[in-house]
Structure 1
Amino acid sequence: MSILGQRILLRALELEDLPLLHQWSNDETLWSLLGGWHFPTSREAQRDWLLGLKNDSLNQRFGIEVPGHGLIGTANLVSIDWKNRTAEHGMMIGDPSLRGQGHGTDVIATVMRYAFDELGLSRLSTTIIEYNAASLATYTRKTPWVIEGVQRQWYYRKGQRWDRIMLGVSAEEYRAWQAARGDSL
């Protein structure tokens, strides 16, 4: 099964994706834009991680594919809480030359559509490191996500402390945004 966006396709991650996933998992510049801790990853550890995804219904990870480019990044719905119908969302565009071209906006819209219309979730959340201005602008200016709070000095990067910006979106906000855009997907 694939989840079709306007310009992207979300699909399962496959063993053939391992070379790119391994490259991205060891790209210090890329990981400095994302939350969490990141350590150098071996090919074997990357393979084990990928194989471990198949039975995890609470943490879904997708490959982002673009026609003519193939796999360009990953997206996820993690910490899915089926009782409260919530999940956390994240994404990364691994190829820097493909950032800033609208793929991220399409990924966010596609993930929201899948989460709210197919899975029946009612709320999504994400966090962004304060200096990742491009991601913050994509979520808050191009999609219906809103800033819900700031955790001061959460991250330690580049020799200093940085805030973690917390964002969220509800199914109702998504549907109002979708209706205003006239989306038919």
Structure 2
Amino acid sequence: MMLFFIPWDIVFTANGYWGFNPDYLTGIYLVNLPIEEWMFFVCIPYACIFTHYALLHYFPNWKLSENLTSAITFILIALFFLLIVLFYDRWYPVINFGYAVLLLLLVLHYRKDLLQQFYLTFLVMLIPFFIVNGILTGSFIEEQVVWYDNTQNMGIRMVTIPLEDSVYAMTMILTPLVLLEYFDSKFSKSTSKLSKS
């Protein structure tokens, strides 16, 4: 996940599409990104994937039907594509929604069962997302920790959170989850072959 999101973050920060308030930082930077941002990409996806599997442990039959999952996915893809067209001159929606479209198409084709569960667990994860991201973007504190150039996003905020951030969160969690499931299945198959031989 970091192979894609870290370069994206570095480019957007370098171009001023978003940035970080130094008053909240240690001052340690790695490739133009605060060390706190690097840690964000370690801690948050791990916590979210842990939450996904914990929820499925307690609610093992918690999933949407195949038809509803397909319908939700196609609606999201159509909506993201429309927003790309409408905001074609703004980098955050174009990159963010473009990646979401590609990821959803791939997962729908190869692992629809994962989406059947993920849509439900992601709804639960949106609760801490709104709290934490709300604080980072200026809710409940004097100054925002993360700022955005509104000329490079849609300019639509959920209180203080740019709308694009919710889709960013979805792909940031779904990407490592898909990779984890993929490598886990590969490992299980190879282990099964070794045990049979």
Instruction: Name the structure where strand makes up a greater proportion of residues.
Output: 1
Shared fold, TM over 0.5: no
- TM-score, normalised relative to structure 1: 0.28
Instruction: Name the structure where helix makes up a greater proportion of residues.
Output: 2
- TM-score, normalised relative to structure 2: 0.27
